[in-house]
Structure 1
């Protein structure tokens, strides 16, 4: 409910609402979502590739570095699907999430991080964190608000409470170790009773 109320605020910009909904529904790391470009979006399939945590450039056999990575796919749902087309406003290339200003003359920005249609720069993690803090700070005190990573924790907690299996939580979050996801796994008594029935003699469920 707190998340829905935050995203519904009129004073929150469409960009922030889209980012927050994306982070919650994909349970992806903020760095990965911020790095997505429009060309990579599969709007019909509600999915996009993101760079895996700790990903490093591939290296050719002779040692030359290639600037490509093995991607991981993240998925979103109806909330994000409603917001994304409004945010893009017909843009077909460049960063999905951009700032409201163009880079200054002395700023060195990669061409991939500039929208070729508007000249606006890709939104950074620091900027995203500051914007979220502005909307969630306790008593308006800077530095007391939410952190972008909390969207990931909130989404996983909701899925765990909803009965998602440990393996499904790992697949959704792309965690490699079960112990990092176990705290979100909360099977209901009914689910435990159901799986226990598999151990009964014969096939009791017939």
Structure 2
């Protein structure tokens, strides 16, 4: 097999040769595309914008230069700070697997990730501990957009799961009764914070998903990314908190 000139083509060939399912293949492609930005010393767009952005054109030969190892190390540090050690480690493993395969094909002579080591990961029980009352108050004091403040208050006050709250439709809300009209299950109800925000957030809308983006219903992934980014200044570690910790705090107060 002839050596591809372009990094993106090398990614295509690696994925075509890998025994991955469709879902895993998409995850690998997103991770490997993200690394392309690092090879040319550029920062990828944040959040969902990264998945739709046009990646830079990268000659595969750049991975054989001394600068590649330095740039990948800096990008790994930046990614771990932005998304946490667990996700950054997974993306590093994906890149290492691809580099190893490319070297087996004779397309690369050096390993630009050889000097990188996986970061220690906190035990999930510690990293997902629920937010305490003071931390919740700090979250609600953030200068966040109305959509986010409404979601956070509703998630905390109802004690519902993140998936359940994000799946709500406007026509299921009983605003005067401060509850969700649901049949066959225990309905969600909320307190003063959500009661004040919901009429403002739903003003002029009578149907459709409660929480939306420009593309439709707000996804779990996007909601989690926004919350972590917004709470980064509140976290002494500088990583931000997870939406799951806020949800756990709400359920603890039921």
TM bin (shorter chain): 0.5 to 0.7
CA displacement 1:156-176 (0-9 Å, x = unmatched) = 33x3xxxxxxxxx5xxxxxxx
Residue aligning to 1:24: 156
CA displacement 1:127-146 (0-9 Å, x = unmatched) = 100000001124785xx322
Instruction: Give yes or no for contact 1:98–1:122 (8 Å, CA) kept in 2.
Output: yes
CA displacement 1:167-188 (0-9 Å, x = unmatched) = xx5xxxxxxxxxxxxxxxxxxx
Which runs of 4 or more aligned residues in structure 1 lie more than 4 Å from their structure 2 counterparts after TM superposition?
Answer: none
Aligned equivalents of 1:84 and 1:32: distance in 2?
A: 17
Residue aligning to 1:5: 138
User: How many positions carry a matched residue from both structures?
Assistant: 119
Structure 1 residue 152 displacement after superposition: 2.6
Instruction: Give yes or no for contact 2:167–2:209 (8 Å, CA) kept in 1.
Output: yes
Aligned equivalents of 1:71 and 1:95: distance in 2?
A: 20
> What is the TM-score of this pair, normalised by structure 1?
0.53
Task: Select 1:39's aligned residue among 171, 180, 184.
Answer: 171
Task: Select 1:78's aligned residue among 175, 189, 192.
Answer: 192
> Which runs of 5 or more residues in structure 1 are unaligned?
51-68, 104-120, 160-168, 170-206
Aligned equivalents of 2:217 and 2:250: distance in 1?
A: 25
Instruction: Give yes or no for contact 1:23–1:33 (8 Å, CA) kept in 2.
Output: yes
> What is the TM-score of this pair, normalised by structure 2?
0.43
> Which runs of 5 or more residues in structure 2 are unaligned?
1-133
Instruction: Give yes or no for contact 2:160–2:251 (8 Å, CA) kept in 1.
Output: no
Q: Kindly report the root-mean-square deviation, in angstroms, between the aligned alpha carbons of the 2 structures.
A: 2.1
Alignment of 1:1-206 (within 5 A): 1-10=134-143, 12-49=144-181, 70-99=184-213, 101=214, 103=215, 121-137=216-232, 138=235, 144-157=239-252, 159=253, 169=254
| Higher helix residue share | 2
Aligned equivalents of 2:246 and 2:237: distance in 1?
A: 20
